[in-house]
Amino acid sequence: MTGGAGFIGSNLVRALVGLHHKVVVLDDLSTGLESNLDGTGAELVLGSIADPLAVDSAVRGADAIVHLAARGSVPRSIQEPEATHLVNATGTLNVLAAARTTGAHVIFSSSSSVYGANTVLPKREEMWMQPISPYAASKMAAESYALAYREVYDMDVLVLRFFNVYGPWQRPDHDYAAVIPRFAWNGLHGLPIEIHGDGNQTRDFTHVDSVVAVIIDALDRRFGWQTPVNLAFGQSISVNDVIAELNRQLGIVMEVVSLAARAGDVRNSMNDPALLTELFPQARAIAFSEGIASVLDWLR
């Protein structure tokens, strides 16, 4: 697994180890933490997916590669577009080249951000894409390479487009932290929160346990597919809804500081889960209130 020391990766590592799989993690610990793997028994190989030799040696002998390593965050990609491309696009090419040599099944984590300027909702896989950030462009390049490799080299490749994934082990404490862990952390500590725009922007927040379950199902079946598959359940939750749910569960009213809307952010995002539920009949959404409770429990 690449990026296994990160948020989604470390949740997946724990689930796979619990099922007695051997897991090797390639991670440069740029946003992930070694401590996220404590007690899992997974082997950590320190290195970058931008280094083809590091990728080759890490994936040797693997039946499958879950490729999660990436430079996340839209704002960060606007600051550093070349570095984003190097890791997210070229790094993915390195992973695909290694898998082509070994014959490993590949599952790649793309992003709903590829739809970008396309405002039609809900999102279906065949809709046109128009990235509006370097992050989204790098993910679109990477998923295109993944599906092209599948086609021409007859590889088992699955591209999953994650929407906004949240849950335990998502860091609240770095500059580009996602809203749920950051707001939850601030709420627990009585700190004000900052929102960009009016807070009515919506996301299809997806609990990490649902994502992990789909990936494990795909691994079990060595499942590949000719198009990307959107991984979200069609729930439209606004940033203001997130704040309201946190206030409710914490029994407080958080102080909100309003900032200008951010460049590169899409206004609304919501999936049509028809293909997901056809291909993964066992995929299940987790109620938002239950998901928020899991984040608060973990942060506590």
Least gap, CB of 176 to ligand NAD (angstroms): 9
Report CA Rg, the chain.
18
Least gap, CB of 255 to ligand NAD (angstroms): 26
- Between CA 134 and CA 130 the distance in angstroms is 11
Nearest alpha-carbon partner for 266 in 145, 87, 129, 127? 129
Give the nearer residue to ligand NAD in terms of CB position, either 150 or 203.
203
Least gap, CB of 128 to ligand NAD (angstroms): 19
CB 263 within 8 A of CB 78: yes
Angstrom CA distances, 50 to 5, 151, 234, 263, stand at: 17, 23, 34, 27
Give the nearer residue to ligand NAD in terms of CB position, either 49 or 121.
49
Least gap, CB of 46 to ligand NAD (angstroms): 9
What's the token pair of residue 253?
Answer: 């009213």
Which amino acid, one-letter code, is at 176? Y
What's the token pair of residue 234?
Answer: 């069609």
CB 94 within 8 A of CB 52: yes
Give the nearer residue to ligand NAD in terms of CB position, either 31 or 271.
31
Give the nearer residue to ligand NAD in terms of CB position, either 27 or 272.
27
Nearest alpha-carbon partner for 212 in 155, 118, 282, 153? 282
- Between CA 185 and CA 179 the distance in angstroms is 10
- Between CA 66 and CA 234 the distance in angstroms is 24
Least gap, CB of 271 to ligand NAD (angstroms): 12
Least gap, CB of 138 to ligand NAD (angstroms): 9
Please give the span between the terminal C-alpha atoms of the chain, in angstroms, as a whole number.
Answer: 28
Give the nearer residue to ligand NAD in terms of CB position, either 49 or 96.
49
Give the nearer residue to ligand NAD in terms of CB position, either 155 or 271.
271
Interface residue list for ligand NAD (CB under 6 A): 2-3, 5-9, 26-32, 48-50, 68-72, 87, 91, 109, 111, 162, 164-165
